[in-house]
Amino acid sequence: MTERKRALAALLALLLLLPLAGCGKASSPAPLELTLLQVGKADAIVLRCGGETLVLDAGDAAGGERTLRLLQDQGAERIDVLLLTHFDKDHIGGAPALLAAMPVGRVLIPDYEGEGAAYEALLLALDAAGVEAERLDRAVEFDLGDARVLVEPPEDYRSRGEGEQDNNFSLITTVRHGNLRLVFAGDAEKRRIRQYLRGDSAQPCDFLKLPHHGVYGPALETLLDRLQPAVVVICDSNSSPADSRTLELLRQRQIRVYETRRGDVRIVSDGVSLQTEQDG
């Protein structure tokens, strides 16, 4: 073989190897940071990934102030998405404080009319902030940094007199981050849980924000058996702790449980595993 042919053969071999250079270990996603705040029997949850922020429920009025302080401590300058699962005051009462203090890109809410002072305050705060809420009658998906978020409304918003109407209208959210799945079930009760379990998104997950502050319900066992979470967080309080029957279900399934009545819960996902710690 001539020197010229040898050089061409070497060049060809090099060109064939170049595409393989990027086939090693895929780059890791930006970390997903999750904080479930100790705000009494209420939900106030902050997710941050790749510099973007999702607030999932805002607790009552005091919970809104706590959420705002956390965001400021974390250096957040805006809320990209404010997601309110339903219109109970322990989920929306803190939203006006957030809307007044920070720019908010999108507000996602269920598609029904709420009642009471907290709901009226929310509508006034949205108007003052110049934000038009998106009322969900179908599922929506969006990116939060390197995470993918799916928000699913109930099948319909007709009241059937089972449990609290608002609870059964809860939006249920699934966050996919790398190989991990995190599910946030609002205050879903029996009817809403059964609707959710009929859908394709009800698959095994790594994390579950347990619905309705740990209140025991007949559909809860089915939900746990379908999702098989490794970690569960319950947003409860010392005056309204999780039901002992709920805690027994979790113990039987050897699920790691954190209750916000004991302090803020902080979770970091690298897309492969979850690191969890709790204040207090």
Give a yes or no: residue 21 inside a domain. no
Written as six digits, the tokens of 112 are 């029904």
Alpha-carbon dihedral sign for residues 23, 24, 25, 29: negative
Could you report the per-residue pLDDT of 209-247, keeping only the tens digit for each? 999 999 999 899 999 999 999 999 999 999 999 999 999
In a domain, 15, yes or no: no
What's 59's domain CATH number?
Answer: 3.60.15.10
The pair of three-digit structure tokens given for residue 144, joined into one six-digit string: 């939060």
Q: What is the per-residue pLDDT across 52-91, written as a single tens digit (0 to 9) for each?
A: 999 999 999 999 999 999 999 999 999 999 999 999 999 9
117-162 pLDDT, tens digit per residue, is 999 999 999 999 999 999 999 999 999 999 999 999 999 998 766 5
Residue 20 inside a domain? The answer is no
Binned at pLDDT 50, 70 and 90, residue 280 comes out as confident
Give yes or no for a contact between 53 and 47, defined as CB atoms under 8 angstroms apart: yes
SS3 at position 82: strand
Q: Is the pLDDT assigned to residue 21 strictly greater than 70? A: no
Inter-residue contact 98 to 132 (CB < 8 Å): no
Please report the pLDDT score of residue 161 as a whole number: 60
The reply to whether 10 falls in a domain is no
What was the pLDDT predicted at 218? 87
Q: Is residue 41 part of a domain?
A: yes
pLDDT in tens, 151-200: 999 999 987 665 568 999 999 999 999 999 999 999 999 999 999 999 99
Residue 1 lies in a domain: no
Residue 81 lies in a domain: yes
Our count of domains for the chain comes to: 1
Residue 8 lies in a domain: no
Q: pLDDT value at position 2?
A: 54
Which DSSP symbol is given to 31?
Answer: P
**C-alpha to C-alpha distance for 109 and 73, rounded to whole angstroms:** 26
Q: What is the pLDDT of residue 232?
A: 98
Q: Give yes or no for residue 15 having a pLDDT over 90.
A: no
Q: Which ranges in the chain belong to alpha helices (H)?
A: 3-17, 61-73, 89-92, 95-101, 117-129, 190-197, 220-227, 244-252
pLDDT of residue 33: 98
| Phi, then psi, of 47 in degrees rounded to 5 | -120, 135
How far is Cα 235 from Cα 267, in angstroms, rounded to an integer? 14
The terminus-to-terminus CA distance of the chain in angstroms comes to 75
pLDDT at residue number 18: 44
pLDDT reported for residue 145: 98
What domain range includes position 159? 28-278
Q: Is residue 16 pLDDT above 80, yes or no?
A: no
Residue 6, pLDDT score: 54
